[in-house]
Chain A
Amino acid sequence: DTGVSQDPRHKITKRGQNVTFRCDPISEHNRLYWYRQTLGQGPEFLTYFQNEAQLEKSRLLSDRFSAERPKGSFSTLEIQRTEQGDSAMYLCASSLDGGYYEQYFGPGTRLTVT
């Protein structure tokens, strides 16, 4: 069990550029979640996948954000036309099926938009 991995760990980009992050969940987990965490706050939910289906999206996920999980394994989160307000830690988590199962988090991708 290698845990949830995320790539890259850090990304610095200029405003207006597009960025893409990758998350590899724990292999037997069919649920995958994306959260965003800004300084001094707890993580905020962005979106959720059950296998390859995106079942829930937060209002925080503007139309500049898109997430995919094409084969029900890894997931990507893309931000188009980045803005300075997008600077945050992007956390991926995965879990088994069932609301009482804990979500296991990856190390996060820290995005800085200059």
Chain B
Amino acid sequence: AQKITQTQPRMFVQEKEAVTLDCTYDTSDPSYGLFWYKQPSSGEMIFLIYQGSYDQQNATEGRYSLNFQKARKSANLVISASQLGDSAMYFCAMREGAGYALNFGKGTSLLVTP
């Protein structure tokens, strides 16, 4: 079964607008971490933001914020004031318990238009 589900294969947003990329996860472990990565066409995975399962507040990093809804098992990424350089693939990932591996979703392709 898929641990991480990203239901939006492609998203479009106009420059300076906000956009939400969806991510739902599946785990029975009470301790886990959720990560978002950006992968531009160059291929390198760039870390954006992290949310721990015990964190009381939603994580924020500059223009990125994570809308963490634990009961719904969702961890959506919100990008505010989109820029053309935000066009890329975005991956949600989860690390469970004491494990080391990240389980990634299939990603969402974001295109920012002028």
Q: Which residues of A contact B (CB under 8 A)?
A: 31, 33, 35, 40-45, 48, 55-56, 58, 89, 91, 93, 99-100, 102-108, 110
Report the bound CA distance from A105 to B102 in whole Å.
12
* A45 pairs with B101, CB closer than 8 A: yes
Distance (Å) between the CB of B101 and the closest chain A CB?
4
* B50 pairs with A43, CB closer than 8 A: no
* A58 pairs with B101, CB closer than 8 A: yes
Task: Mark out the residues of chain B between 59 and 109 whose CB falls within 8 Å of any chain A CB in the assembled complex.
Answer: 91, 93, 95, 98-107
Report the bound CA distance from A103 to B47 in whole Å.
7
A42 touches which of B44, B91, B95, B100 (Cβ 8 Å): B91
Tell me which residues across on chain A come within 8 A of B99, comparing CB atoms: 56, 99
B44 touches which of A55, A58, A106 (Cβ 8 Å): A106
Report the bound CA distance from A99 to B100 in whole Å.
7
* A55 pairs with B106, CB closer than 8 A: no
Report the bound CA distance from A99 to B103 in whole Å.
13
Given contacts A105-B45, A106-B44, contact A99 B98 (CB under 8 A): yes
* A42 pairs with B101, CB closer than 8 A: no
* A41 pairs with B100, CB closer than 8 A: no
Contacts A43-B102, A104-B47, A108-B44 given; 4 further ones with Cβ under 8 A? Answer: A99-B33, A103-B35, A103-B102, A108-B43
* A45 pairs with B103, CB closer than 8 A: yes
Tell me which residues across on chain B come within 8 A of A107, comparing CB atoms: 42-44
